[in-house]
Amino acid sequence: MKNLDIAVIGSGIGGSLISALNKNKDLILFEKDKNLGGCASTFKRLGTYFNAGATTFVGYENNHPIKNIFDEVGVIPNIVESKIAIRTIQNRKIVDRIQNFEEFLTQLNSVYYHKNNRVFWKTIKEIDEKFWNLKKVYFAKYGFQEYFKTALFVAELLKEFGFMLFKTADGYINEILPNISKEYKAFINAQLLITLQTDSKDLSLLAMSLGLAYPFHKVFYPIGGMGQIIEDLLKDVNVQNKEQIISIKKEQNKYRLISTKDEYLASKVILNSAIFESSKLFLDENIKKYYDKFSFSDQSAFVVYLKLDSKEKLLHHYQIILKDNIPNCISNSFFVSISDINDEKLSKDGYSITISTHSKAIFWEGLTKDEYEAKKEFTQNFIIKEFLNNFDNIKQENIKTLFSATSKTFYRYINRTNCGGKPITAKTIFQLPSCNTPFDGLYNVGDTVFAGQGWPGVAIGVNVLNKELNANS
C-alpha cells in the first residue's frame, strides 16, 4: 500500500489547478480517462482532435485569479486572443461580443435598440469590475475561522454593492429596460444559459453581471486544444491516468483509496467530482449521508463534433439563437466553437468544430438502444441543419466527420452526467457547498462548489481550497 499526503480524484480544471499549486507535496492526481481535463479535455477520434466540452479560456489577465495561479505555478499557456469573443446570430442579425464597450454598444443599438442600453450595460460592466477587484473572495463552512472569514467577505460584498446585492436579474431588466423585446430578452438569456446554466428569472443582479460581462475581458483560444492547457499545468505533477478510484474508506485520521490498479492511504482527499455524485465513492455511511443531501443537478449538454473541410475564414466562437427550443433539449440556442486555422493539431486538414447546447441528463436515461440512437440522431441532424442555415459558405458536403455526445457519453468517459455545474441562483448562492466538509482532510473542488463554473469561478474555489490546505498543513 502506498502512503501519500494528498490524493486528488479527477483532472478537471479544479483538480488540475489545485494539483499544480501543490505539485511539490506528496500528491497523486488520479484520472479515470486516458485524456486529462474532464470536461476541459481534448480527445482524438477518426483522425481528428476535438475539445470535449469547454472551449473558451478567459481570465488570463493581470490581477485575475486565473493568471495569478498560472504565474505561481510557472506555466505560460499557449493561447491567442479572440478579438471577437462571440458572434451572436439571431434571425440573421449579428452582434459581436467584444471587449471594447463603445464598439459593442454601437453594434447592440443597431440590432436591439433601447434608450437605456448604455445604463444597463455600463452597470453590468461596473459590477463585474468591482467583483474582480475584491481582494479576499472567500466562502467556506464547518469551522469558526471559516465562518468568520466568510462573514468578512459578505461584509465586503455589502460595502461594495449595497442594495444592488439583493436585486434580482429580472427585476433589474424590467426596471432599466422596460418593454424589452422578446428578441432582445432572448439575446440576454441565451448568453446567461451558457455562462451560468440558467436564465435571468432565477439569477441575482450580481450573478447576471458576471455572466454577461465576461466578453468584456480578454477571451482566448488555446492552441492544441483546451486539454493542452491542462497537460501544461500538470507537467510536473504525479498523474495516474487510466486509473479509477473505486472506493474510499476513512480509517482514523486517513483515507484508504482502492483503485482499479492499487491501494493508497492518504491524509487528505480532494474530489474533483460533482458534489451530488460523490456519495457513491464512500463506504462510510456518515460520509455517504453528507453527500446524499446535495440534490442532483439535471443540467447537461448535447454536443455535436464535426470535421469541416473548408478554407473559409471563421471566428473561434459563435452563438446561434433560434425561435424555438432544439428538439430533446432545453435551449433555443447553440454555441459553436471552431479551431484556429493556424492550430496545426486541431486544424490539420480542416477545422475541428464542437457545437453544444443544453439538455436534461435524465431525458437520455431509460431509453432502449434504438430509441436513444434515434433521438440522438434527430437532435444532431436538427442542429446541423440550423448550423448550415446560418453559414452561407458552408455546405453539407464540407462535413467530413460527424458524431455527437449526450450525458451518457460524458458519464462513460469522465464519470459525470452533469455538465456545467449547478446553477447559482439568488435563492441558493449562500447555500452553495464550500470546498471543505465536516470531515477532516476531505475536500471538494470544481464547478459544483463555490464559486461555480468556468475557469474564473473554479479558480476562485481553488484559491479558497489552497488556503484551507495550507492552514491545515
Segment 201-220, tens digit of pLDDT: 888 899 899 999 999 999 99
At position 301, the amino acid (one-letter code) is A
Q: How confident is the model at residue 163 (pLDDT cuts 50, 70, 90)?
A: confident
Lookup: cell for 359: 439538455
pLDDT at 165: 81
Residues 452/434, Cβ–Cβ less than 8 Å: no
pLDDT at 44: 96
Residue 72 has pLDDT above 90, yes or no: yes
Which has more confidence, 296 or 7?
A: 7
Number of neighbours of residue 166 by Cβ within 10 angstroms:
13
Q: Would you identify the CATH topology of the domain 2-36+234-294+425-471?
A: FAD/NAD(P)-binding domain (3.50.50)
Q: How confident is the model at residue 107 (pLDDT cuts 50, 70, 90)?
A: very high
pLDDT at 94: 97
Quick check: pTM over 0.85? yes
Residue 397 burial by Cβ neighbours in a 10 Å radius (0-12, 13-18, 19+)? exposed
Q: For the residues 117-139, what does the mean pLDDT come to?
A: 92
Lookup: cell for 169: 436579474
Q: For the chain, what is the mean pLDDT?
A: 93
How far lies 133's CA from each of 47, 90, 369, 466, 467, in Å?
A: 44, 34, 51, 20, 19
Place of cell 452582434: 95
Q: For the residues 238-254, what does the mean pLDDT come to?
A: 95
Which has more confidence, 277 or 99?
A: 99
- Residue 8 phi/psi, 5° resolution? -110, 125
Residues 277/14, Cβ–Cβ less than 8 Å: no
Question: What are the residue ranges spanned by the domains of the chain?
Answer: 2-36+234-294+425-471, 100-216
Q: What distance in Å separates the CA atoms of residue 376 and residue 430, rounded to the nearest whole number? A: 37
Q: Which residues contact 202 (CB under 8 A, 6 or more apart)?
A: 169, 423, 425, 426, 427
Residue 134 has pLDDT above 90, yes or no: no
Give tens-digit pLDDT for 401-438.
999 999 999 988 887 877 766 666 656 666 778 999 99
Percent of the chain with pLDDT over 70: 97
Q: What distance in Å separates the CA atoms of residue 202 and residue 204, rounded to the nearest whole number? A: 7
Residues 111/117, Cβ–Cβ less than 8 Å: no
pLDDT at 77: 97
What is the rounded radius of gyration, in angstroms, for the C-alpha atoms of the chain? 22
At position 8, the amino acid (one-letter code) is V
Give tens-digit pLDDT for 311-332.
899 999 999 999 999 999 999 9
Q: How confident is the model at residue 143 (pLDDT cuts 50, 70, 90)?
A: confident
pLDDT at 422: 61
Residue 231 has pLDDT above 60, yes or no: yes
